[in-house]
Amino acid sequence: MFDPVEKLKEYIRHASISTDPSAREGMRGAREFVSGLLGGLGFAVEAVPTALHPVIWAQRGGDPSWPHVVIYGHYDVQPADPLNLWQTPPFEPTIRGNRLYGRGAADNKGPLLANIAAVAQLLEKDPRLPLRITFLIEGEEEMGSPSFPAFLEKYQDKLREADFVFLSDTALPNEQQVVITCGLRGLTLFDLHVIGAKGDLHSGLHGGVMRNPIQALAEICATLHTPDGRVNVPGFYDDVREVEPWERAELAKLGGDAAAYAKFLGIEAFHTPPGYTPFEAIRFQPTLEFNGIGGGYQGEGTKTVIPSRAFAKISCRLVPNQQPARIKELVIAAIRARAPQDVKLEFVDQHQGDPYIVVPPGRPNTPPDQSPVLARAFRAADAAVTEVWGRPPLYLREGGSVPIIADIKRVTGLDSVMFGLFLPEDNLHAPNESFNLDVMRKGSETIAKILAAVAAGRR
Amino acid sequence: MFDPVEKLKEYIRHASISTDPSAREGMRGAREFVSGLLGGLGFAVEAVPTALHPVIWAQRGGDPSWPHVVIYGHYDVQPADPLNLWQTPPFEPTIRGNRLYGRGAADNKGPLLANIAAVAQLLEKDPRLPLRITFLIEGEEEMGSPSFPAFLEKYQDKLREADFVFLSDTALPNEQQVVITCGLRGLTLFDLHVIGAKGDLHSGLHGGVMRNPIQALAEICATLHTPDGRVNVPGFYDDVREVEPWERAELAKLGGDAAAYAKFLGIEAFHTPPGYTPFEAIRFQPTLEFNGIGGGYQGEGTKTVIPSRAFAKISCRLVPNQQPARIKELVIAAIRARAPQDVKLEFVDQHQGDPYIVVPPGRPNTPPDQSPVLARAFRAADAAVTEVWGRPPLYLREGGSVPIIADIKRVTGLDSVMFGLFLPEDNLHAPNESFNLDVMRKGSETIAKILAAVAAGRR
């Protein structure tokens, strides 16, 4: 008997922080743990090497006439800092109420285990299930999947044989309402460094003759938004695809209580681009955010220096059809044009990912050549969710990014069915991340029904 | 025989960082080292307790008709970070060329030892020298001397008996030219915290609905200067006392090569208030600087958070007759007025200090009631410097702050003769601080002559 909760506790103990070179042991442990699970279910498991963290490739073959689903997940997690804000240590899984707390519980260890548990249940019931399944579980998602595009290119011929991709790495708005995600924001990230004098200077002996790099950085960053909440970079919005009326209508069905959302975030007021509710802004609009800033003395008390340099970590969330490389160029060009001439600038490139959109069957803008297996998966999801959760799913774009979904589409032609399982209160990427165990159980049951329905038809 | 270089090496080994609670041992070591030196010269030495670090009070009494000089110094040093930029460890004194490297070498351990060595030499030559000397050496200068005003209040009656204060905690422009500092900038410091959501948020799931605290901080900081390099705070310049023509003329004698100065700093261009050369701006104009900024993720790679909060450490250097408390009020009021309404602000008060000015004898604006002993000290300094260095000193205001000089004036009525001994290239408050040993030797010789001349007259 496969107990997903016990497995999840074991899985979380492996501190698989992909960006932290000192967490190699946790990465290896998490990888071997998942490989062992899938091997136990009869999958042929391989750890396919990449430039950094191997991809787990687990295969259940079968007759070429059987439908073929690729299930995607990732075994790496975000860093856990600031550690002092965790109620219990991030890598010591703890159950409080119906929640399991730990780094990676919701992103993506719990949702991946819900998928594996569904497959385990199906194969237990019918070991001859006419469905080919390929698990692809990568270890670099939280770094922006730098090795995954090359991996896709290398194995594109094998992957093109599949019919569609299924994954649970997106969100539910609340415990009652399932969402099938039909779009994801892309992103592009870089660091901006502003450099003044060649060393830190005493602010008394030298203060008043030069522009402080922190001042220059603040002056640059302050130009990047308009007062009404848009990104103030020429050309930034040029390629933004207008949202379809059915998408706005679908989101309206979700309702959403703006006051409750503001309270949940703990903010004084929303600040959205004109013409968009907070819920629309997240899904349909791009952003420019400062993820970090630093420079000079940050300790207790005072140190009266003029620092030599200061930096900001900048990211843009992008919507279809913005191009990450183009947007990065535009933002950097705006910064160069606006920066004072008396400081030097350096840019450090970080990762990027395309936005993605898939249209479910039967919509005004559904592509006429949509894969019949993909369409069956969407319809099966509709029926299974209605049965298990008591109401049909909503088909919405998401604010988050899973950049490899667009990469998969570009390289292999495969579209994705994104069946979300984490909740806003799960605290992804933040202290006290947790996963709702009721959602895990119902999710697993639903996924088993979807895969059974996909298996019940031919290609 | 008193060997000041060997003593300085020993002194630097005590890591007396007053702001670092883990450096108590270094503070105690430095204090006991100096106390031992002065006790060895026959002074009655006491460590006078304060709220935090004791003040060393070392007394050489005598006949009430003898002139009485108070020699001020401090035994604490700045923090040494960033450690990786030091060529040799900050608390392992190393001689390279004619320089001794180590944290505190120039600020203030070397200059203080030059004074002690001068006294040692005088007393060796004439054990009955008719001069009363009080050393006051505090341990909180690098924290803004929080305990010193209360100390002055408590002992003001004893201190009022003295004639003037002598100290070496200011700068020389170069190795050839002595400067007697006749003014110091004051300062006022505080931290600004900007708070958004109640926790760090995922920039995909929530990005686009709220103002990022880093953005708000940048927008606030960017308003605090005008494009032409002035501080953009209403009322900021209201109390600035016009510089006297003789002060500008004295500074003009110094000359100063702006291109060489820019090269020394390693900056692309100067950015001074209109109407002031770089050299004038430092001495005659107030500033608003950002000494540090921080918020969100600052590590390697990326973390796509919207941080809950961000902060800046802000300081203003002030000139006569600006009032630190008033200026802090004005800056905070401007920040409150300009901050977006959708974030919360918090201010953390740090220390402050008044600006100071003393006019040497024989100037158009010399006060008619100036102490004759102070006037004699100034004239003795003029003669001694001319003799030892081959040219007379310049009488200039400085950009740095020694806030207790203004406190001493306010509480005890005593003015100060500030005989500078450190050079711009000594890297005060920065990595690879050092002290020029030729300057130390000549400085000590000059100070001995000045004190001898003061002792040669009556009160």
pLDDT in tens, A82-91: 899 999 999 9
> How many CB atoms are located within 10 Å of the residue B241 CB?
13
Alpha carbon distances (Å) from A324 to A148, A270, A318: 17, 26, 7
* A392 lies in some domain: yes
Interacting residues of A236 by C-beta distance below 8 A, sequence separation 6+: A286, A288, A327, A330, A331
Q: What is the pLDDT of residues B158-182, one digit of tens each?
A: 999 999 999 999 989 899 999 999 9
Q: Does a structural domain hold residue A279?
A: no
Give the end of a domain, one of B353, B376, B408.
Answer: B353
What is the DSSP secondary-structure string of A70-88? EEEEE--B-----GGG-SS
Asked if A348 and B299 count as a contact pair (C-beta separation under 8 A), the reply is no
* C-beta atoms of B265 and A209 within 8 A: yes
Nearest to A293 among B289, B295, B351 (CB): B295
A289: nearest CB among B203, B265, B269: B203
Read off the pLDDT of residues A422-459 as tens digits, 9 standing for 90 and up. 998 999 999 999 999 999 999 999 999 999 999 998 88
What are residue A56's phi and psi, to 5 degrees?
Answer: -80, 125
Does residue A139 share a domain with residue A68? yes
Determine whether the interchain pair A204/B401 forms a contact, defined as Cβ–Cβ distance below 8 Å. yes
Looking at the domain assignment, is residue B250 inside a domain?
Answer: no
A272/B209 Cβ within 8 A: yes
Q: Does B266 touch chain A (CB under 8 A)?
A: yes
Which stretches does DSSP call E strand in A90-243?
Answer: 94-96, 99-101, 132-138, 164-167, 179-184, 186-195, 201-202
**At which residue do the structure tokens 């907070």 appear?**
A278
Q: Does B85 touch chain A (CB under 8 A)?
A: yes
* Interfacial B residues in 96-135 facing A (CB < 8 Å): none
Report how far residue A300's alpha carbon sits from residue B8's, in angstroms, rounded to the nearest whole number: 29
Q: Does B353 touch chain A (CB under 8 A)?
A: no
DSSP assignment of A203-266: TTTSTTSS--HHHHHHHHHTTSB-TTS-B--TTTTTTPPPPPHHHHHHHHHH---HHHHHHHHT
Q: Could you tell me if A265 lies within 8 Å of chain B, comparing CB atoms?
A: yes
Determine, for residues A205 and B399 on separate chains, whether the beta-carbon distance falls below 8 Å. Answer: yes
The pLDDT value recorded for residue B365 is 86
Answer whether B343 touches A (CB < 8 Å): yes
> Cα(B371)–Cα(B377) distance, rounded to whole angstroms?
10
pLDDT digits (tens, 9 = 90+) for B358-403: 999 999 989 999 999 999 999 999 999 999 999 999 999 999 888 8
- Positive/negative CA dihedral, B138, B143, B149, B154: negative
Mutate to test the interface with A, among B18, B84, B289 (most CBs of A within 10 A): B289
For residue B423, give the nearest of B414, B435, B409, B405 by alpha carbon: B435
User: Is A253 a domain residue?
Assistant: no
pLDDT by residue (tens digit) across A13-33? Answer: 999 999 999 999 999 999 999
**Mapping DSSP to helix (H, G, I), strand (E, B) and coil, where does residue B215 land?**
helix
Chain A 16-55, residues with CB within 8 Å of chain B CB atoms:
19
Average pLDDT of the residues in A178-202: 96
Q: Domain range for residue A297?
A: 186-240+286-353
Phi-psi region at B309: left, alpha or beta (left = phi > 0; alpha = psi -120 to 50): beta
pLDDT-based confidence at residue A1 (cuts at 50, 70, 90): low
pTM: 0.82
pLDDT > 90? residue B1: no
Q: Which residue has the tokens 């922190």?
A: A214
Closest chain B C-alpha to A51 CA, distance in angstroms: 16
Percent of chain A with pLDDT over 90: 92
Based on the domain organization, do A18 and A128 belong to the same domain? yes
Residues A60 and A148 in one domain: yes
The answer to whether residue B307 is domain-embedded is: yes
Distances (CA, A) of A333 to A195, A233, A263, A329: 18, 9, 37, 6
CATH number (domain holding residue B335):
3.30.70.360
Q: What is the pLDDT of residue A51?
A: 94
- Torsions phi, psi of B38, nearest 5? -70, -35
CATH classification of the domain holding A107: 3.40.630.10
Residues B47 and B125 in one domain: yes
Of A144, A222, A291, the CB nearest to B203: A291
Q: What is the mean pLDDT of chain B?
A: 96
DSSP reduced 3-state for B112: helix
Cβ-based contacts under 8 A for chains A and B: 338
Distance CA A182, CA A418 (A): 7
- Average of per-residue pLDDT across A221-241: 97
- Closest-CA residue of B relative to A287 is B208
Contact B85 A199 (CB under 8 A): yes
Q: Give the 3-state secondary structure of B365-429.
A: CCCCCCCHHHHHHHHHHHHHHHHHHCCCCEEEECCCCCHHHHHHHHHHCCCEEEECCECHHHCCC
A243 touches chain B (CB under 8 A): no
In a domain, A267, yes or no: no
Quick one: average pLDDT of B227-232?
96
Q: What does DSSP say about strands A434-436 and A99-101: parallel, antiparallel, or unpaired? A: antiparallel
Which residues in chain B (142-161) have CB-CB distances under 8 A to chain A? Answer: 143-144
Q: Note which residues in 370-429 of chain B have CB less than 8 A from chain A.
A: 398-401, 424, 427-429
CB A215 within 8 A of CB B279: no
CA R_g for chain A? 23
Please indicate whether, in this complex, the C-beta atoms of A205 and B400 are within 8 angstroms of each other. yes
Q: What is the DSSP string of B245-289?
A: HHHHHHHHHH---HHHHHHHHT-S-----TT--HHHHHHH--EEE
Q: What confidence tens digit (pLDDT) does each residue in B288-326 have?
A: 999 999 999 999 999 999 999 999 999 999 999 999 999
Contact indicator for A453, A380 with CB cutoff of 8 Å:
yes
Of chain B, the percentage scoring pLDDT greater than 90 comes to 91
pLDDT above 70 coverage of chain B, percent = 100
Q: Least CB-CB distance to B218: which of A171, A203, A218?
A: A218
Q: Answer yes or no: do B310 and B215 share one domain.
A: yes
Q: In this structure, are A327 and A450 located in the same domain?
A: no
- Assess if residue A281 is contained within a domain: no
Q: Which residues of A touch B301 (CB under 8 A)?
A: 19, 143, 350
Say yes or no: B205 and B90 in one domain. no
Looking at B303, B337, B353, the residue that finishes a domain is: B353
Enumerate the residues of chain B whose CB falls inside 8 A of the CB of residue A289: 203, 207, 212, 215, 304, 306
pLDDT digits (tens, 9 = 90+) for B73-93: 999 999 999 999 999 999 999
- Spatial distance between the Cα atoms of A168 and A43, rounded to a whole number of angstroms: 20
What pLDDT does B402 receive?
84
Q: Do residues B134 and B61 both lie within one domain?
A: yes
Is B292 within 8 Å of A214 when comparing Cβ atoms?
yes
Query: Smallest CA–CA separation between B342 and chain A, in Å?
Result: 5
Are B53 and B140 spatial neighbours (Cβ–Cβ below 8 Å)?
yes
Residues A68 and A128 placed together within one structural domain of the fold = yes
CB contact under 8 A, B427 and A296: no
Q: Are residues B139 and B231 in the same domain?
A: no
Chain Cα centroid distance, residue A159: 22
B437 found inside a domain = yes
Same domain, A23 and A158: yes
Quick one: tokens of A121? 């249940």
Average pLDDT over residues A324-328: 98
Q: Name the residue among A65, A73, A74 with its Cα closest to residue A163.
A: A65
Q: Same domain, yes or no, for A348 and A398?
A: no
Helix (H, G, I), strand (E, B) or coil at A135: strand
Please give the tally of structural domains in chain B: 2
Classify burial at B206, counting beta carbons within 10 Å of its beta carbon; exposed 0-12, middle 13-18, buried 19 or more. buried
User: What is the distance between the alpha carbons of residues B333 and B340, in angstroms, rounded to a whole number?
Assistant: 13
